[in-house]
Amino acid sequence: MRPTTPFTRAVRRRGAATLAALALGVGALSACSVTSAATSATSAEGSVWDSTSVHEVELDIDEDEYAEMLATYQESSEKEWLTADVTIDGQTFSDAGIRLKGNSSLRGVDADADAVDLPWLIDLDKFVDGQSLDGWERFVVRSNTSETALNEAVALELLEEAGLASEEAASISFSANDSESSLRLMVQDLDDRWDEATFGTDGTLYKAEAGGDYSYRGDDAAAYEDVFDIEAGTEDYAPLTEFLQWLEESSDEEFAEGLAERLDVDAFATYLAFEDLVGNFDDIAGPGNNSFLRWDAEAGQMTVVAWDHNLAFGQTNGGGGAGGVGGGRGGGVPGELPEGAELPDGAELPEGAELPEGAGPPLGGERPEGLVAPADGERPEGGPGGGEGGMGSNILSERFLADDGFAALYDAAVEDLQAELFDDGSAQEVLDAWTEVLTAQAGDLVDSSTVETEAEAIASYFDGHAVDETDDGPVVGG
């Protein structure tokens, strides 16, 4: 998972034995733990991240505590931690921590919500210090936007093959409190262990929050607490504020000459190209503001880290099947919603932008994960960042693609990735491998015909049409 030189395809470590070994060498997290234990288990399958198997994850939650947690979330949107017994592939971890994970994926949650239907963050050592599995403590059970979650699984593996930082993922049979099992995707949480295994250098990992943007808010760290969360590394907002100030205040000439000193521009061009090729409009410039910034203290540079691919390959939230979204910078119109999507209640498109002809709500009528409509329905003041209600805008991607030199890097990245990931059959091999696992091992969770249909929809993106649908050049808008 350590990022490689851009356009250098990484070898997928199915089973993740190397990562587990790296992670075991990192000091155990102890925050919030109340009990000391040495419960470091090894998966009987060889690795919890072995994507050639459908794993089993079960939650045993106290019903009263669960009901209280839901009530608190409904009242305040606070995501309280619960204790639960978590069983992964037959190994039980007592008094693990679990909490809700997500934003719009939790919209509509009420007192009757079933735990098996919700997205979760699992932290094995939240309350029992030292509990881990294959060297990992934190696992994210994702919310599906399709019945198979193939789109996100394939996107994450291709992201790594593109030489970019990614997360390990595995299909799971998920149940809670003896419920019927459902097919979900489990991925790594981007935490200290992930950061160490992926980058291996001193630095800080900042997560852009859905309600924020990339605007400069001054030097006071408190102004960024609800805009960027520090997920790993040194608790220091100074590198972030300095970067955002320069990004906002530099002239076009200064931007062109100085960005490469402050940002891994090759990796960013690759990132933008990748997101467009896989038809993921919900990226750094999308409505959910989905991105991380990773500060490398040794190199003195930021790297944009991708996050949230459950809308990759044109998937719409609510499970509409892939195929509904044209590419962001390579297709569509700035500020235009993807075909099949609708504005959230009260939100407005930027001035001059229009909905695509015939656009309607996605199946399920849900917003992309992370999208939160501002209270008054208006876009907030303060610049072009991808913040609340901003339907496709980010100052970094806008300025990057407005510069001829950086736009050329993007164009080259599109060409290289199309050749290296798709034209040579690599993407099809990845898709076939995931499809085979589900067809062979998840027949009790999803029909084989559904797997086949969703796989075909994903494969339809391998021809590069998500970028080629317009001849107007790269645009920013999703």
Q: What distance in Å separates the CA atoms of residue 192 and residue 369, rounded to the nearest whole number?
A: 23
DSSP-assigned states of every residue in 158-178: HHHHTTS----EEEEEEEETT
Higher pLDDT, 472 or 307: 307
Q: What distance in Å separates the CA atoms of residue 84 and residue 75, rounded to the nearest whole number?
A: 22
Which run of H or E residues covers position 433?
Answer: helix 426-441
Query: Are the CB atoms for 340 and 316 separated by under 8 Å?
Result: yes
CB-CB neighbours of 428 under 10 Å: 16
Q: What distance in Å separates the CA atoms of residue 386 and residue 265, rounded to the nearest whole number?
A: 19
Q: How confident is the model at residue 35 (pLDDT cuts 50, 70, 90)?
A: low
Q: How confident is the model at residue 379 (pLDDT cuts 50, 70, 90)?
A: very low
Q: What distance in Å separates the CA atoms of residue 313 and residue 458, rounded to the nearest whole number?
A: 6
pTM of the predicted model as reported, rounded to 2 decimal places:
0.80
Domain ranges of the chain: 17-196, 200-348+362-416
> Can you give the pLDDT at residue 152?
98
Residue 126: pLDDT over 80: yes
> Can you give the pLDDT at residue 162?
98
Query: Are the CB atoms for 461 and 322 separated by under 8 Å?
Result: yes
Burial of residue 124, with CB atoms counted within 10 A of its CB: 0-12 exposed, 13-18 middle, 19 or more buried: buried
Q: Which residue's entry shows tokens 């990057």?
A: 400
Q: Which two tokens stand for residue 67?
A: 């009901």
Q: Which two tokens stand for residue 356?
A: 């695509």
Residues in contact with 40: Cβ distance below 8 Å, sequence separation at least 6, in sequence order: 24, 130, 131, 132, 135
Q: Which two tokens stand for residue 140?
A: 């994210």
Rounded-to-10 torsion of CA 178, 182, 186, 189: -60
- Cα separations (Å) of 254 from 39, 213, 313, 382? 53, 22, 36, 21
Span 189-242, pLDDT tens digits: 999 999 999 999 999 999 999 888 999 999 999 999 889 999 999 999 999 999
Q: What distance in Å separates the CA atoms of residue 195 and residue 202, rounded to the nearest whole number?
A: 9
Measuring CA to CA, which residue among 285, 228, 272, 201 is closest to residue 3?
A: 201
Span 300-352, pLDDT tens digits: 999 999 999 999 999 876 543 333 333 345 433 334 444 444 443 333 444 44
Burial of residue 206, with CB atoms counted within 10 A of its CB: 0-12 exposed, 13-18 middle, 19 or more buried: buried
Residues in contact with 99: Cβ distance below 8 Å, sequence separation at least 6, in sequence order: 79, 80, 81, 82, 120, 121, 123
Burial of residue 80, with CB atoms counted within 10 A of its CB: 0-12 exposed, 13-18 middle, 19 or more buried: middle
> Can you give the pLDDT at residue 45?
56
Q: Computed from CA positions of residues 149, 153, 155, 156, in that sequence, does the dihedral angle turn out positive or negative?
A: positive
> Can you give the pLDDT at residue 376?
36
Burial of residue 13, with CB atoms counted within 10 A of its CB: 0-12 exposed, 13-18 middle, 19 or more buried: middle
Q: What distance in Å separates the CA atoms of residue 246 and residue 406, rounded to the nearest whole number?
A: 17
> Can you give the pLDDT at residue 375?
36
Span 396-411, pLDDT tens digits: 999 999 999 999 999 9
Residues in contact with 3: Cβ distance below 8 Å, sequence separation at least 6, in sequence order: 163, 164, 165, 198, 199, 267, 303
Query: Are the CB atoms for 293 and 208 separated by under 8 Å?
Result: yes
Q: What distance in Å separates the CA atoms of residue 126 and residue 142, rounded to the nearest whole number?
A: 19
Which phi and psi (to 5°) does residue 15 adopt?
Answer: 105, -25
Q: What is the largest CA-CA distance in the chain?
A: 61
Residue 274: pLDDT over 60: yes
Query: Are the CB atoms for 313 and 394 separated by under 8 Å?
Result: no
Average pLDDT over residues 81-92: 98
Crossing angle for the helix pair 426-441 and 448-459, nearest 10 degrees? 170
- Cα separations (Å) of 472 from 56, 282, 346, 357, 453? 47, 21, 31, 19, 32
Higher pLDDT, 26 or 3: 3
Average pLDDT over residues 27-51: 61
Residue 381: pLDDT over 80: no
